Structure 1
Amino acid sequence: MTDQLSLYGKTFDSRLLIGSALYPSPAIMHEAVQASGAEIITLSLRRQMFGGGSGSDVQGSAEQREANEIWTYIQQMGLQLLPNTAGCKSAKEAITLAEMSREIFKTDWLKLEVIGDDYNLQPDPYGLIEAAAELIKRGFKVLPYCTDDLVVCQKLLDAGCEVLMPWGAPIGTGQGLLNKYNLSSIRERITQVPLIIDAGIGAPSQAAEALEMGFDAVLLNTAVAKAQEPVMMAKAFKTAVEAGRLAHNAGLMLKRQTAKPSTPTVGMPFWHQDK
């Protein structure tokens, strides 16, 4: 493959990153992830390793068994693990969880989340930048989940991030690319690192649009996991991402305000019947 995605010196054929949460069962998660063609999978330390701990012992043990089954499937697939710091609300908390993830999952790759608002799960830009700078010093390969704010993206670059992941819309909303002006500005101004749309993608057409705009990949979870047919939806996203990338490379036609015939009339013979 010639048109590969390169992140922190590692190359991937797929431009679709996928999550491991919210599926109806571990088996369906396994089948859907394989159908997606994704080579990078996100996972949560808290969910994977500490499934129990609330409710009755029976409920806790059932949750733990499911978490262990998910982890077994993930190991079998041999994908690049991307642990995340979901739920962290401060730089200190995210750094601590990152160190735990590195020890348990044996990877220095990290999807960095520092949440500043419980309602829309919007990242805290100050905590995010602080955590990113410290984690990069500690040798982590940080993929930060951020908003579509150009200045925040530039600050994350200054902190040493080699990949940025601005949202399309708040997590789990399925709203797609809400602020195309901001996203286009980020893509036009930041050309030196890969940009991945993370969060808000709800339909394959939205994923294709992100790739058509020049973004390098998309990361999603809910749109596949909560579909009526997760495996079928995973295949749909795989195809959409491939189509979006091909369209970007081919070069989209420019939009026009006026119609232009696809079959020009200049130089064409006109036939008439003499009366």
Structure 2
Amino acid sequence: MNDPLIIDGITLQSRFFLGSAGYPSPQQLEAAIAAAAPAVLTVGLKRTLQAAGDNGFIAQVLASAQAAGARLLPNTAGCRSAREAVALAQMARELYGTAWIKLEVVGDEHTLQPDPFELLNAATTLVREGFTVFPYCTEDLILGRRLLDAGCAVLMPWGAPIGSGQGLANKPGLRVLRERLPEAVLIVDAGLGAPSHAAEAMEMGYDAVLLNSAVAQAADPVRMAGAFRDAVRAGRNGRLAGLMAPQDFAVPSTPVSGHAYLLG
């Protein structure tokens, strides 16, 4: 079924976004990318600069993404202020040759929750400078509206704190965000731990999911990457098919009157 996701005029054939950090080996990363077939591959510029002074890691990520047909999405992970995030985004555009940026500005060291004020300031500046901004945010509706008003291409609310594997910790809040912003592209980002979490987010009406740790830290990252790929597809198909409305009582699935059935 042809069901593309369009962001900033770019057609993406998959709704699975994958991170590139924390894999046991470069070979595992490459194989996981191939198994996931993601539309987008994220890479943290700070980690990249720390990992390879000779840019070997950068070259590997670029090659793996290209082989999988994925677009590269640099991110500003590790930034604590709008000024720092803007400077890092500018470096990422020069290094990777893309104006797409995943904007992270963390405000709390324990939860790694985004700082809404610094995030909005950075997003406003980056949009003005011609970036296509993918802001990592919470499910806060008002912040989401402000980010969209500032010109962000999408919203990326967390499912749960980064790397926690808790899944969708605030389902009512995520449902409200989806219902109140029906035209926005919404991507659940962070906190997913199992393929079922991804399927549930897609069934809820989210347009895509982004995750890293759930694959990178799995016992078998390659198999897990494939499992998440399939879960995202299944959840999306379930949403498009139309989920049955839950009932507070049992409803027989087979008629018990008016017809005779032969069993055996």
2:61 pairs, out of 74, 83, 89, with 74
Using the TM superposition, give the Cα deviation of residue 130 of structure 1 relative to its aligned residue in structure 2, in angstroms. Answer: 0.7
Corresponding residue for residue 190 of structure 2: 199
Corresponding residue for residue 17 of structure 1: 17
What amino acid sits opposite 1:125 in the alignment? P
What amino acid sits opposite 1:108 in the alignment? A
Corresponding residue for residue 60 of structure 1: none
Using the TM superposition, give the Cα deviation of residue 209 of structure 1 relative to its aligned residue in structure 2, in angstroms. Answer: 0.4
Q: Deviations over 1:10-67 (max 9, x none)?
A: 011110000010000111101101100102111111111232xxxxxxxxxxx657xx
Distance change >3 Å, CA 270–CA 107, structure 1 → 2: closer
Using the TM superposition, give the Cα deviation of residue 270 of structure 1 relative to its aligned residue in structure 2, in angstroms. Answer: 8.9
Report the Cα distance in structure 1 between the residues aligned to 2:91 and 2:254, rounded to whole angstroms: 63
CA contact (8 A) 1:83 1:109 kept: yes
Q: Deviations over 1:210-266 (max 9, x none)?
A: 000000000000000000000000000010000000000000010000000001223
Corresponding residue for residue 161 of structure 2: 170
Corresponding residue for residue 113 of structure 1: 104
Q: Deviations over 1:84-127 (max 9, x none)?
A: 01111111111111111111111100000010000010000001
Counterpart check, 1:241 vs 2:232: yes
What amino acid sits opposite 2:6 in the alignment? S
Report the Cα distance in structure 1 between the residues aligned to 2:229 and 2:253, rounded to whole angstroms: 31
Report the Cα distance in structure 2 between the residues aligned to 1:228 and 1:159, rounded to whole angstroms: 41
Give the alignment's Cα RMSD to 1 decimal.
1.4
Report the Cα distance in structure 2 between the residues aligned to 1:64 and 1:266, rounded to whole angstroms: 75
CA contact (8 A) 1:187 1:195 kept: yes
Identity, % of aligned positions:
53
Report the Cα distance in structure 2 between the residues aligned to 1:64 and 1:230, rounded to whole angstroms: 26
The two structures have a TM-score, normalised by structure 2, of: 0.94
CA contact (8 A) 2:62 2:72 kept: no
Report the Cα distance in structure 2 between the residues aligned to 1:190 and 1:245, rounded to whole angstroms: 18
Counterpart check, 1:29 vs 2:41: no
Between Structure 1 and Structure 2, how many residues are aligned?
A: 258
Report the Cα distance in structure 1 between the residues aligned to 2:96 and 2:74, rounded to whole angstroms: 8
Larger Rg: 1
CA contact (8 A) 2:85 2:122 kept: yes
Instruction: Using the TM superposition, name which of 72-81 and 83-92 deviates more.
Output: 72-81
CA contact (8 A) 2:46 2:78 kept: no
Counterpart check, 1:209 vs 2:191: no
CA contact (8 A) 1:26 1:69 kept: no
Using the TM superposition, give the Cα deviation of residue 268 of structure 1 relative to its aligned residue in structure 2, in angstroms. Answer: 2.5
1:180 pairs, out of 171, 178, 182, with 171
Distance change >3 Å, CA 18–CA 233, structure 1 → 2: same
1:125 pairs, out of 107, 116, 120, with 116
Q: Deviations over 1:134-169 (max 9, x none)?
A: 100000000000001111101111111120000000
The two structures have a TM-score, normalised by structure 1, of: 0.91
SS of the aligned residue for 1:241 comes to helix
Report the Cα distance in structure 2 between the residues aligned to 1:270 and 1:23, rounded to whole angstroms: 56
